[in-house]
Amino acid sequence: MTTSRQIPFARPWITDEDRRAVLAVLEGNILTHGPQCKSFEEEFSQFLGGDAHSVTVSSCMAALHMSYIHFGIGPGDEVIVPALTHSAAAHAVEWVGAKPVFVDCDPRTGNVTPHGIEVALTPRTKAISVVHFAGIPCDMPAIVDLAERRGLKVIEDCAIALGARYDGRHVGLFGDAGCFSFYPVKHMTTGEGGMFVSRHEAVAQAVGRLRAFGVDRTHSERSLPGMYDVPSLGLNYRMSEMQAALGRSQVRRIKDVLAKRAELFARYRRLLGTIKGVRLIDSADPRAASSHYCVSVLLDPPYAAKREDIVRRLNAEGIGTSIYYPQPVPRMTYYRKKYATDPTSFANAARLSDQSVAVPLGMHLEPADVDLIVETLSDILKTIS
Ligand SMILES: Cc1ncc(COP(=O)(O)O)c(C=O)c1O
């Protein structure tokens, strides 16, 4: 059962066109806040469609952090945060001095539900943060409806959801802010990098200033070179021109990326459906179009108890794996210590963290790789009783 092929869990897709785009920037003199960032913002907005206004930033975490700063959320406030997500979602809340209130997920999709959010609201709740887990869009119309009734802001963490749509509308454009990541294993990359998105132009403009020291005018808007004012506090969360050039080149191919991921995911769905004792994290909601970020396979007992062994044997066969996410955030040491979390809470998130394994998906795979991965997993499971 030794596979001849090494299949990494993920690999960035960098073409000669991407390399030429980055080199062209290095041959010029403008390395930051220049035309590449501006064009990338416009082209990204065009891809999202609707009323998107985009702001290039240094990471998704930077976009999340600025969302809370911009909406004035701080000490004494609470923000709903999914238990099953990346720590960035909770850290952003902590950095403004507010309290993350964690909510468990739906065991089938890994997403928070409108009901789960509603029961966690208190008079101190100021915002709801959602993550579209594995690229499956949350039920955004119901979540936005709840937020509007309660006067709450909605921050969408779209780090792994580029291309995901609900009722045809791209995620990130339902709430008050959408935060995207271009970290290397994402749908597209700029090395590090991200995009802050809002359907409100004024919000995007304000966050654009916040990301660049709070400066009131861009280089082209200055009547005298070097002359500007700083009417508000700011940060430096900018993206460089080299990154933006890479992002522009990548976003041109995003439809191909999404199509291939969808095709491979459908193959996984079909093949995994024939194996007993495993379940794919997936959505049956016809209104939800996933971005197919990852193939997260939930193991039934007794396989779940042998997860580490299964992972090691897949890796030994040349198949890369990962786990989404390694622990529910409230169980991570910082949050467990600070909030004395009951380890038995967030049962669904804990089950996905403790009993799932994610297998490769991306442009580096061919359909035959999917067949090989599923066959290898199936063979390993047959040896476990
Ligand atoms: C859901 C989620 N949010 C935020 C992040 C952080 O993204 P970045 O590395 O761009 O800050 C990640 C990273 O994987 C993520 O999975």
Domains, the chain, in order of start with CATH, read 16-251 (3.40.640.10), 254-382 (3.90.1150.10)
Would you tell me how many other CB atoms lie within 10 Å of the CB of residue 365?
A: 22
Please indicate whether residue 67, judged by its CB atom, sits closer than 6 Å to ligand 1: no
> pLDDT tens, 331-380?
999 999 999 888 788 999 999 999 999 999 999 999 999 999 999 999 99
Would you tell me how many other CB atoms lie within 10 Å of the CB of residue 77?
A: 18
> pLDDT tens, 164-188?
999 999 999 999 999 999 999 999 9
CB within 8 Å of 28: residues ≥ 6 apart: none
At 224, the pLDDT band (50, 70, 90 cuts) reads confident
Query: Is the distance from CB of 135 to CB of 294 less than 8 angstroms?
Result: yes
Q: Which atom of ligand 1 is nearest to the CA of 62?
A: 11
Determine the average pLDDT of the residues in 51-67: 98
CB within 8 Å of 124: residues ≥ 6 apart: 76, 77, 78, 99
Q: Beta strand 295-299 with 356-359: parallel, antiparallel or unpaired?
A: antiparallel
- Which of 255, 273, 245 lies closest to 374, judged by CA? 273
> pLDDT tens, 112-126?
999 999 999 999 999
Q: Which atom of ligand 1 is nearest to the CA of 181?
A: 10
pTM of the model: 0.97
Please indicate whether residue 85, judged by its CB atom, sits closer than 6 Å to ligand 1: yes
Long-range contacts of 326-331 (CB under 8 A, 24+ apart): 326/353, 327/353, 328/83, 328/84, 328/102, 328/353, 329/81, 329/82, 329/83, 329/84, 329/85, 329/86, 329/87, 329/89, 329/90, 329/100, 329/102, 330/83, 330/102
Q: How far apart are the C-alpha atoms of 32 and 222, rounded to whole Å?
A: 16
Would you tell me how many other CB atoms lie within 10 Å of the CB of residue 202?
A: 9
CA of 189 from ligand 1 middle (Å) equals: 12
CA of 270 from ligand 1 middle (Å) equals: 29
Determine the average pLDDT of the residues in 39-45: 98
Q: Beta strand 78-82 with 99-103: parallel, antiparallel or unpaired?
A: parallel
CB within 8 Å of 255: residues ≥ 6 apart: none
Indicate the helix (H) or strand (E) that contains 130. Answer: strand 125-131
Going by alpha carbons, the residue nearest to atom 8 of ligand 1 is 60
**Helices and strands per DSSP (H, E), number in the chain:** 13, 13
Residue 342's pLDDT is: 82
Q: Considering only 55-69, 208-222, 320-334, which range has the smallest mean pLDDT?
A: 208-222
Q: What are the residues facing 253 on neighbouring strands?
A: none
Residue 2's pLDDT is: 54
Determine the average pLDDT of the residues in 13-23: 98
Indicate the helix (H) or strand (E) that contains 82. Answer: strand 78-82
Report the largest interatomic distance among the alpha carbons of the chain, rounded to a whole angstrom: 75
pLDDT at 111 over 90: yes
| Ligand 1 pocket mutation, candidates 130, 131, 160, 293, criterion most atoms within 8 A of CB | 160
Q: How far apart are the C-alpha atoms of 158 and 164, rounded to whole Å?
A: 9
CB within 8 Å of 285: residues ≥ 6 apart: 139
Percentage of the chain surpassing pLDDT 70? 99
DSSP string, 284-327: --TTEE-----EEEEEPTTTGGGHHHHHHHHHHTTB--B-S-SS
CA of 157 from ligand 1 middle (Å) equals: 8
Structure tokens at 77: 């406030």
At 226, the pLDDT band (50, 70, 90 cuts) reads confident
Please indicate whether residue 134, judged by its CB atom, sits closer than 6 Å to ligand 1: no
The label of the residue with tokens 């660049």 reads 212
